[in-house]
A = this chain, B = another copy of it.
Amino acid sequence: MSNSPTIIPVIAPPPAGFGAAPTFSPLYQQIKALITGSLQAGEWKPGELIPSEVELAARFKVSQGTVRKAIDELSAENLVVRRQGKGTFVATHHEVRAQFRFLRLMPDAGEAHQADNQIIEVKRQRAPADVARLLDIKPADAVIFIKRVQSFDGAPTILEELWLPGLIFRGLTAERLVEYKGPMYGLFETEFGTRMIRATEKIRAVHADHIATGLLNVSVDTPLLSVERVSFTYGDKPVEVRRGLYLTDRHHYQNELS
């Protein structure tokens, strides 16, 4: 193509200034949305190679630089991972580099945790009202409820309760959770086609209740971190609510402000 810069290719252009809400957006944003759509639709699975920048530029009929800028942002949002000389890959939770993105509890001293995961309970139930609101589903809808304890170096440290939409995680059982080795988000991604993209956490200090007392092996009224997490998949759709109680006598929640 010689020169046709004002034409917006592929995507329906807002040709002139009329209609309700112009909704302009840069070309690279439109390309980014298209690629995100393909990721969401599963055209390329987590861990797989996506087409090269040159190929994508040809497919969308834009320059390589425009595709590059789109992928730049996807890479910054951890949706894809670039590897020089190899290509661009769909991000996956089955990677070392992705492991600690959602687990912020670090040992005060020493090395990586020798982690152990104990499933206490898994059941299907109706969504509690507050969980339903957070998951954006109806209270009558089914959810999978999971309770587990994570130990580091033999010491029970995290007591967690999770609620997952029953519709998406149909067939998730305690057996499956127990036999699966590796991060839980890896399981969700591989077995249920649901990839956690981002999450928000609300953190408080609370007292251990009598249940936590037993499972974490601490005395009543031990101060614990309460961490309520809502995780989102593509399209900012909430797909997990998690309530954790963290024992912070030998660990701390690490955060970077930048």
Contact = CB atoms under 8 A, between A and B. Distances in A.
Interface of A: 76-78, 101-102, 104, 197-207, 221, 223-225, 229, 246, 248, 252-258
10 contacts: A197-B258, A201-B254, A203-B203, A203-B225, A203-B248, A204-B248, A205-B224, A205-B246, A221-B221, A225-B225
Per assembly, the copies of the chain total: 2
A123 B220 CA distance: 39
Nearest to A256: B200
A78 B254 CA distance: 21
B204 A253 contact: yes
A254 B203 CA distance: 6
B201 A255 contact: yes
Nearest to A103: B257
B203 A253 contact: yes
A56 B232 CA distance: 41
Contacts of A258: 77-78, 197-199
Contact of A101 (B198, B201, B257): B257
A185 B78 CA distance: 31
Given A221-B221, A223-B224, A224-B223, A255 B207 contact: no
Contact of A199 (B202, B206, B257): B257
A78 B225 CA distance: 30
A257 B102 contact: yes
B205 A205 contact: yes
A207 B223 contact: yes
Nearest to A227: B255
Contacts of A77: 258
A230 to B, nearest CB: 10
Contacts of A202: 252-255
Given A198-B257, A203-B225, A204-B225, 16 more contacts: A77-B258, A102-B257, A104-B255, A199-B257, A200-B256, A201-B254, A201-B257, A203-B252, A204-B252, A204-B253, A205-B223, A205-B248, A207-B223, A221-B221, A223-B223, A225-B225
